[in-house]
Structure 1
């Protein structure tokens, strides 16, 4: 019995240890006074809504996947492609770009990743190329609107642009970034076997259509609530409750505590606490020295991208924002939006994507992921900064 219980104990992966280590470091920073309690309270005031959103939106996505909503959407995309992988690739890129730009990158990571994985499963092909569409475009296509990325929302007041004005300035950088990403996706993951055709599947019919319909309606409600300006930490719990109640009535066995993404919540909390401590140890002064008094857009975007991959794009934006003048903030946004695709902790969207891939059993070869993502981030970053310079 003891051996059996040991075998069933969940195995911690490297990213889990990183999250626990960061959380422990944050607690130590509090204990030794590196982060005053009052500042920690202010940080948690900003972080708690994010944690509420992350926790509930993952529950929403997990149960929606179990209701086979994503299988229905995946089959619809495959039928639109009419058996041609090149057409299907274009459809996936456009779909991911629109979802990211109009909603936000976290929605793409949570709701679209299962669609892509289910699509690959329906076609009997490898899931990784489809999953890579969401993780890259969730980040690189998040430049267009303030709602596209939480960093854009953080910058909205200081940038001083209306949503229309913001979109006008960022439209060309968005297009350049998406095209560069699409080229990398095709080169690294989709080109092989692109000349082959796939068999167009029949429409998918889930076993519990009422459960599927309610979960689909909850996802649409989430989209509508976000579009009309309801905060993410309100919209996600409301929709998650709808799905939870429906499963409690129709499939109670699917409800389990493991639906709560504790690993991700611990990691994000630790990141912000540690960044508070690092900022007090001279990070702001170091960033000002690296950037200079009148930094170019290339330097600002590059430093921001490196920071995002070191610590996560949200705290990276906060750190770099304090070190640059207001007219350089769009360059900061390009760096922290387009750049953080190299390592899994660089953006919350990438962490969400990883959780979705792990839940779906999609293996990630981290060596290849980091290498191809570094190339893609560099190309997309340069393209977006060049486009910004001509707007």
Structure 2
């Protein structure tokens, strides 16, 4: 509602709204498309089959199984994006955890029943082709969009009942888009200059830490992407920009809306019937941020 009023009242002029759409639109399209791909691939049984294969490779050792999950998370995040990890790997990890705890040993006693093997094969091929294409330089929104359209077309023929409006993460997209609009309006009105002044000018260790902390506060307050877009103009050297990136990328683990990846992660958890405590999430995230941000900023300064 606030975002709508911001546009209607002219706080965000039309030309700036268009510019915002050009910047953030592909991100939101990518999120929608990847969510559809993840949901349909899950229904087809892709993640269940992969989870079974990982369980076999784990040889009954839950610690080894956990190593496989961490490896997939690291590779997915490093070579694709955190959003991709939040959408795809969350489903796979939850499939594993629902089947067996990640402590001690386990027995391979369960197998997945696949009612439509052709659908499984097509979905698996789509995911297998999609992932490497995400790092080729082709716009990721286009790649994910085509993959989503292919799966939608296949499911329309073979399993139409699955195709509902629930496939689209409306709430997540609405929250993200609203935050983008509000922060862009703040930027257009010049209010972000106050935060910009707080970033200072130096490149000493405490200057960099101040930049990282302000970036962290902004990310947890309004989401890391709009926080970065608002503050990046004031981080005018590579070192200062690096500190800002540390703050907006490592620290938005305290509030649910701190990053789009967190919103997507929660959406996937909710879709799979998993409830979490936001209070516990915030406390654990705060502890993590208090360690990661100073240590990483110090490493940046020393480097």
User: Is TM-score (shorter-chain normalized) higher than 0.5?
Assistant: yes
CA displacement at 1:98 relative to structure 2 = 0.8
Distance apart, 1:242 and its partner CA: 1.2
- Structure 1 distance, partners of 2:147, 2:18, is 28
1:59 aligned partner: 36
Q: Choose the corresponding residue for 2:99, options 119, 122, 128.
A: 122
Corresponding residue for residue 345 of structure 1: 257
Secondary structure of the residue aligned to 1:199 is: coil
The counterpart of 1:370, out of the listed 259, 266, 282, is 282
State the 1:97 CA deviation.
Answer: 0.6
Cα 1:388–1:201 change in 2 (3 A) is farther
Runs of 4+ displaced beyond 6 Å: none
Note the residue ranges of structure 2 that are not aligned, 5 or more in a row.
Answer: none
Q: Which of 231, 243, 255 in structure 2 is aligned with 1:331?
A: 243
Which aligned pairs between 1:197-276 and structure 2 lie closer than 5 A? 197-201=105-109, 204-276=112-184
- Provide the rounded CA distance (Å) in 1 between the counterparts of 2:182 and 2:131: 33
Deviation string 1:233-285 (CA, Å, 9 cap, x unpaired) is 10111001111111112111111122122112211211111002222444332
- Where 1:197 maps in the other structure, the secondary structure is coil
User: What TM-score do you get using the length of structure 2 for normalisation?
Assistant: 0.93
Check conservation: 1:312, 1:347, Cα contact below 8 A.
Answer: yes
Task: Determine the structure 2 residue equivalent to 1:47.
Answer: 24
Q: Are the counterparts in 2 of residues 76 and 203 from structure 1 also a CA contact under 8 Å?
A: no
| SS at 1:246 equivalent | helix
- Residue 146 of structure 1 corresponds to none
- Report deviation, 1:293: 1.6
Compute the TM-score of the two structures, normalised by the length of structure 1: 0.73
Q: Which residue of structure 2 aligns with residue 320 of structure 1?
A: 231
The one-character-per-residue Cα deviations of 1:122-148 (angstroms, maximum 9, x if unpaired) are 22x4xxxxxxxxxxxxxxxxxxxxxxx
Match of residue 390 from structure 1: 302
How many angstroms does 1:216 deviate by? Answer: 1.2
The answer on 1:73 being equivalent to 2:37 is: no
Q: Once the 2 structures are TM-superposed, how far is the Cα of residue 342 of structure 1 from its aligned partner?
A: 1.2
SS at match of 2:191: helix
- For residues 232 and 314 of structure 1, what CA distance do their matches in structure 2 show? 17
- Between the aligned partners of 1:355 and 1:87, the Cα distance in structure 2 is 28
Q: Residues 305 and 336 of structure 1 are in contact (CA less than 8 Å); yes or no, is this contact kept in structure 2?
A: yes
Query: With CA pairs under 8 Å and 6+ residues apart, which has the higher RCO, 1 or 2?
Result: 1
What is residue 198 of structure 2 aligned with on the other side? 290
Could you tell me how far apart the structure 2 residues matched to 1:285 and 1:247 are? 50
* Runs (5+) with no aligned partner, structure 1: 1-23, 126-189
How many pairs are equivalent? 299
**Shift in Å, 1:82:** 2.0
Name the Cα RMSD after superposition. 1.7
